[in-house]
């Protein structure tokens, strides 16, 4: 029997600028009394198999495209996969089973707030410590991987997808398919609706760009993907030799060596439904009824301001002046609604950009500066990114003679003196009630995921990350962010922060 020829799917320009590694998320699922590990794993395994039958590209690998391929350029990546997967074929090797060696049970984890430090990320991730920084240009990587981690009373289901394949929004659509198939297997309900037509067409970005592209490119567009325009030629249409990059910025005095005693940690914070509503009402009262400021703007503004205030107070305590410092916020936004009216909103791939906001640090953290003013700034900068801007960004990346140039580029804003950078990624538009693995005999809580936790340990030393997680069915919101211990203690002393947010769990020393 002949082996079917692999399907080769080239990745597009927007897929090449993202970090080279997996995006991991842990789903906390309680088990019903008496359910065995084997029963739960069997259900998850068959559910994932049905997703792979429907979406065979998830069973593939991502790697470097062969130079002989028409249209190849250095650094070009592609997905390679079997064209079909049969329903009666073997189940996915990409799902692993692990029984955690721990004295903890699921109920105790729930009481502790599902803390991030109960297990290391390497324990939970499907490929252990090798799960994080993986460059498919060096060696092929699985598109998708998962590990079902069991402890008494529950399952910590960690799923991972390589970031060059798709962004967070796409990933959650895939995860919902998995949950839907598990639900169908238990209840006999129809399987979940497949992804809408056009969702998997990776040519769509280029087809739209060819019809709507700008007449000329603006190199300032590099900032939308966090890169310094000075590292690229001004005319991106020419494939001339690149000018030398400027030297890396000097490390500022207020950045502490993470190898010393002062180590950054990640904690989980919570905004209750009542306080979430109060925050939205308070900000709306400051900006006026005609404003387009959203609750997402309000919570992002609160987090940015309060995290910067804690960092500023820590800097002052170290004898560092903030007089000339600036706070810079990079919000990671979904560009599907901005790219073009012809863009499918369910597109599976990467289509994200950075909305950049900046304020003098002293003004940002000053209690006299209304929070509504900060939220309105975020809204303006969010709305300022147009279809023309994203099409220009496509032009800039596509004009590169080699995608390897992206790896050599300098960040638009790094650890320069006086710049305090914060990333905020929000999934507030995703609802936890869409994450269900079936109200059947296996999972308690009617099959709904009780909590989500991103695995971020590998990235903490390199970046200030703040993740606003999907809203609970009750309307509350959890937040994961990383801080130094002294900053955490200062954050808890912030009256504005504590008015709306409480700490759910913080790692013990």
| Contact status, residue 456 vs residue 480, Cβ threshold 8 Å | yes
- Looking at per-residue confidence, does 240 or 377 come out higher? 377
Residues 6 or more apart whose Cβ sits within 8 Å of residue 397: 13, 14, 16, 17, 225, 406
What DSSP letter does each residue of 260-303 carry, written as one string?
A: SS---EEEEEEE-HHHHHHHHHHHHHHH-TT----HHHHHHHHH
Are the beta carbons of 13 and 398 closer than 8 angstroms?
Answer: yes
Decide yes or no: CATH 3.30.559.10 for domain 7-205: yes
- Please give the Cα distance from 309 to 265 (Å, whole number): 17
Helix (H) or strand (E) holding 38: helix 37-54
Contact 161, 15 (CB under 8 A): no
Instruction: For the chain, give the longest Cα–Cα distance.
Output: 75
pTM of the model as a whole: 0.92
- Whole-number mean pLDDT of the chain? 90
List the domain boundaries for the chain: 7-205, 225-234+262-432+456-505
Predicted confidence (pLDDT) per residue in 294-324, tens digit: 999 999 999 999 999 999 999 999 999 889 9
3-state secondary structure (DSSP) of residue 127: coil
- As a whole number, mean pLDDT of residues 262-267 equals 89
289, pLDDT greater than 90 = no
* CATH, domain 225-234+262-432+456-505, list 3.30.559.10, 3.40.190.10, 1.10.287.130, 3.30.420.10: 3.30.559.10
The partner residues of 266 in beta bridges, in order of sequence, read 482
Give me the phi and psi of 230, to 5 degrees please: -65, -15
Cβ distance 331 to 299 under 8 Å? no
Stretch 460-486: mean pLDDT, rounded?
92
Residue 362, CA distances (Å) to 227, 268, 305, 324, 367 in order: 26, 27, 10, 8, 10
CA distance linking residue 291 with residue 377, whole number of Å: 11
Residue 430's pLDDT band (cuts 50, 70, 90): confident
225-234+262-432+456-505: same fold as 7-205? Answer: yes
């Amino acid at each position: 029997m002949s082996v079917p020829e692999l399907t080769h799917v080239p990745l597009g320009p927007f897929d090449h600028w993202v970090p080279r590694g997996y995006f991991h998320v842990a789903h906390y699922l309680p088990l019903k009394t008496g359910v065995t590990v084997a029963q739960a794993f069997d259900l998850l395994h068959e559910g994932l198999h049905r997703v792979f039958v429907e979406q065979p590209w998830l069973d593939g690998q991502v790697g470097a495209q062969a130079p002989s391929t028409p249209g190849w350029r250095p650094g070009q990546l592609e997905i390679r996969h079997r064209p079909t997967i049969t329903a009666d074929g073997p189940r996915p090797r990409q799902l692993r089973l692990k029984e955690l060696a721990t004295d903890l049970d699921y109920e105790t984890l729930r009481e502790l707030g599902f803390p991030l430090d109960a297990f290391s990320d390497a324990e939970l991730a499907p490929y252990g410590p090798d799960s994080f920084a993986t460059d498919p240009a060096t060696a092929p990587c699985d598109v998708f991987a998962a590990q079902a981690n069991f402890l008494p009373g529950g399952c910590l289901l960690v799923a991972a997808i390589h970031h060059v394949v798709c962004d967070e929004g796409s990933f959650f659509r895939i995860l919902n398919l998995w949950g839907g198939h598990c639900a169908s297997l238990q209840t006999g309900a129809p399987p979940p609706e497949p992804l809408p037509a056009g969702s998997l067409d990776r040519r769509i970005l280029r087809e739209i760009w060819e019809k709507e592209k700008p007449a000329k490119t603006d190199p300032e567009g590099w900032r939308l993907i966090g890169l310094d325009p000075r590292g690229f030629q001004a005319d991106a249409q020419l494939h001339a030799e690149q000018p030398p990059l400027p030297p890396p910025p000097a490390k500022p005095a207020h950045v502490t060596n993470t190898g010393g005693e002062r180590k950054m940690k990640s904690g989980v914070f919570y905004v209750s439904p009542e306080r979430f509503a109060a925050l939205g009402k308070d900000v709306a009262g400051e900006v006026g009824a005609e404003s387009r400021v959203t609750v997402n703007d309000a919570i992002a503004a609160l987090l940015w301001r309060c995290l910067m205030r804690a960092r500023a107070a820590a800097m002052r305590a170290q004898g560092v002046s903030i007089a000339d410092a600036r706070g810079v916020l990079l919000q990671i936004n979904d560009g599907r609604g901005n790219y073009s009216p012809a863009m499918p909103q369910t597109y599976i791939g990467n289509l994200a950009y950075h909305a950049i906001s900046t304020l003098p640090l002293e003004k940002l953290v000053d209690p006299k500066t209304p929070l509504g003013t900060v939220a309105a700034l975020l809204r303006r900068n969010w709305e300022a990114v147009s279809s023309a801007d994203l099409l220009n960004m496509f032009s800039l990346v596509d004009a590169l003679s080699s995608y390897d140039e992206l790896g050599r580029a300098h960040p638009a804003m790094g650890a320069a003196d006086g710049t305090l950078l914060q990333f905020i990624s929000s999934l507030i538009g995703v609802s936890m009630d869409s994450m269900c693995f079936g109200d059947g005999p296996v999972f308690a809580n009617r099959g709904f995921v009780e909590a989500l936790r991103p695995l971020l340990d590998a990235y903490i030393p390199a970046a200030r990350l703040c993740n606003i997680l999907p809203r609970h069915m009750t309307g509350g919101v959890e937040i994961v962010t990383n801080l130094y211990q002294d900053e955490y203690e200062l954050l808890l002393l912030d009256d504005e922060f504590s008015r709306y947010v409480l700490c759910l769990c913080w790692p013990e020393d």
